[in-house]
Amino acid sequence: MSEKPTFDPTVLARLTGQLGDRESVSRLCAKLGEVFAEFLPDLFESELGLDVAVSYAGFETGRYGALISGLGGAMALSDCELRDWSPQFTLICDSPFIITLVENMLGAATDAVEEPEPRPLSKIELDVAAMIFARIAGVLKTAVGGENSYEILQGAPYNAEERRAPEDGSEQKHAALVNMAVGIGPVLSTFCVVVPQSVLLKTVITSPRAVQPPKTRREWSEQLGEQVRRSKVTLEARIRLESQKLETISRLAVGDVIPFQDKADVRVDVSANGTKLYVCEFGRSGARYTVRVKDTYGSQDELLQDIVG
């Protein structure tokens, strides 16, 4: 009994529209990159008052999950969906771009900002990343779906280190990655869009006649300030204990007691993200231990800038 012939997986993917030839994918990625390069600089300049350079930096092809993991860490991701275009695509932004943007929006001079080291973003910085992804998504929506398209369902940004691969097989889809270079002053960074090739190959990319009405820098600053104020941070309280000899410390065992340094009201330094915020006194309310604010380490605006920075 002869065995049934099997198709080469690559040939089958091409025949079913899941995989395109390199020339076709290259042309579509470049077209999408041109749209980003044309519209995002004016959008950022109008809203932020910053000279942001955006240019197409090439494309890559591969399996969906492998393309994302190949970018490494220290990047922010947002998993998105556009109902009449693609049930799955991912926006990715290099952390130095977001860090630099936050520093500029909080008053730092563009030329004075040094290129930050890539690192996972804080909760506040991820909140700001959501605003950037929304602008990128807005341009993308009008380029691939037209002005009357459905709204993009934009997932909350998260650090690449926190990504968990879905178990629905979507990680193995043939995909394309559109890579964009972004410059703010001396800082050069990137953002990317990863989309299944089955979607990209059927896409008609058009240059939008207009993008959503731009916000002014003041409106953007107010939105950023509001975003910062609504962001949650973890507070830490540090209480100074009585000095002990190293010999004594090395012999401490379970149940031993170390007294507070202060004999009257116990001073507590409260901080967030490593920045001291308040001088407090230690106390108790019912069954819970508490601290009462007695003084601050700066004004409200100074505290916000220190926490974000």
Quick: pLDDT tens for 137-151.
999 998 998 666 788
- Section 199-227 average pLDDT: 69
* Global pTM value: 0.70
- Lowest mean pLDDT of 21-25, 71-75, 258-262, name the range: 258-262
Residue 215 has pLDDT above 80, yes or no: no
Which residues lie below 8 Å from residue 27, measured CB to CB, with a gap of 6+? none
Tell me whether strands 158-159 and 174-184 are parallel, antiparallel or unpaired.
Answer: unpaired
pLDDT at 114 (0 to 100): 75
pLDDT at 247 (0 to 100): 84
pLDDT at 166 (0 to 100): 80
Cβ neighbours, 10 Å, residue 140: 26
Print burial letters for 175-189: b (CB count within 10 Å at least 16), e (below 16).
Answer: bbbbbbbbbbbebeb
Q: Report how far residue 205's alpha carbon sits from residue 202's, in angstroms, rounded to the nearest whole number.
A: 10
- Lowest mean pLDDT of 27-36, 40-49, 200-209, 227-236, name the range: 227-236
Query: In the structure encoding, which two tokens stand for residue 288, read together?
Result: 């819970």
Q: Report how far residue 78's alpha carbon sits from residue 99's, in angstroms, rounded to the nearest whole number.
A: 17
- Lowest mean pLDDT of 4-13, 114-123, 279-288, name the range: 4-13
pLDDT at 219 (0 to 100): 62
Residue 212 has pLDDT above 60, yes or no: no
Write the single-letter amino acid at 40. L
Query: How far is residue 260 from each of residues 48, 216, 255, 257, 270, measured CA to CA in Å?
Result: 49, 52, 16, 10, 16
Go through the domains of the chain in sequence order and give each one's CATH number: 9-230 (3.40.1550.10), 235-308 (2.30.330.10)
Per DSSP, the three-state class of 120 is coil
Residue 308 has pLDDT above 60, yes or no: no
Note the Cα 89 to chain centre separation in Å: 15
Note the Cα 206 to chain centre separation in Å: 27
Give the confidence band of 305 by pLDDT, cuts at 50, 70, 90: low
Please, where are the H alpha helices in the chain?
9-15, 22-48, 64-69, 95-105, 123-145, 197-200, 217-230, 246-250, 300-308
Give the confidence band of 221 by pLDDT, cuts at 50, 70, 90: low
Residue 128 has pLDDT above 90, yes or no: no
Contact 40, 183 (CB under 8 A): no
- Section 81-107 average pLDDT: 88
pLDDT at 220 (0 to 100): 58
Residue 222 has pLDDT above 70, yes or no: no
For the chain, the average pLDDT equals: 83
Q: Would you mind telling me the total number of residues written for the chain in this entry?
A: 309
- Lowest mean pLDDT of 2-16, 53-67, 204-218, name the range: 204-218
Which residues lie below 8 Å from residue 21, measured CB to CB, with a gap of 6+? 14
Residue predicted with more confidence, 176 or 299: 176
In degrees to the nearest 10, what's the CA dihedral of 242, 306, 282, 255?
-50
Q: Which phi and psi angles does 297 have, rounded to 5°?
A: -95, 10
Contact 51, 130 (CB under 8 A): no
